[in-house]
Structure 1
Amino acid sequence: MSVLSQISHALVVEDDVVLALQMQDFLTDLGCPKTVIAPRLDKAILALNMGVQFAVLDVALAGEPCMELAKRLVTSGTPFIYFSGYQPDDFPDLPSAPWVNKPAADAHLLAAISAAHAQSAPRVSLTGG
C-alpha cells in the first residue's frame, strides 16, 4: 500500500510550473487523488485552509523563504517535505522536515515522504540524481 493512499489532499508549493506538475503526477501515482499547486506563498497559505493533509515545499519561491508556511504546517501537524535546489544549511532556521535536493530520484522522494509520515523528520539531505 502506498504511503499516500490514505491522503486525499496534498499541496505542492513550487514556482517552477514543470517541476510542480511533475510532483503532482508523482503524488497522484502514489495514490493521492487531489493535489493543489501553489506557485506563491500567499496562495499556499490560503490552500492550507482547504484541508491539506500533506505538503511539498520549495524553500524559496521567487527568493521568498517559506518559513511562515513551514511553521503553520508544523503547528497543524501536517506532514511535509522540503524539495529544493538549496542545501539545508542555507536555511538553518526552518522547522525540521525531510529535505530532498532537486533534481531527485523517485526513490529519494518516496523515502522523504515516508519519513514525514512516520513523524521521524530528520533534517537529512538526500541527493537526487
Structure 2
Amino acid sequence: RIMEAGLAQRLVQAGIRTLNGPQKAQAERFGVEIIEMRDWQPGMLLNLAGPLYLSLDMDALDPAFAPGVSHHEPGGFSTRQVIQIIQEIDVPLVGADIVELNPVRDPLGVTTAVAAKLLKEIVSKLLTS
C-alpha cells in the first residue's frame, strides 16, 4: 500500500520464495524490487539510500529458525543471515516493525526468542543511526 500511495521512493523485498502471477504483476506495477531467495547471496549489496524504514516479516526466515509464523515456506533466511543484514545497514534507519509473528504456531517460543533478538539488533541500529 505504501507504494500505491506514493509514500516511498523505493521498496525492496528480499528473501521471497513464492511469487505468483498476480503478486509479480502488482510488484512490477508499483516498481517493487524483488530479490528472490534463490538469488540471494551473502554480502549482497542492496544499495540502500536513507532514510530507511525496515519492515521485517518473520515469514522471511526458514521455518527451521522461525516455526511460529503464519506461512511456512522452506528455504528462507537463517537467523544469522537476518542479523547480518541488519548489522550491515549503513544508512540512517528511522523506523522499523516486525510482522507475521504467530506464537500460536510455536508453543516452545523459539520464534518469539528470535524476534526478540532481531528487535534488539534493530533497536541498536536505530540508536546508532
Give the TM-score range, shorter chain.
0.3 to 0.5
TM-score (normalised: structure 1): 0.43
Could you tell me the TM-score, scaled by structure 2's length?
0.43
> Which structure exhibits the higher relative contact order, with contacts defined as CA atoms closer than 8 Å and separated by 6 or more residues?
2
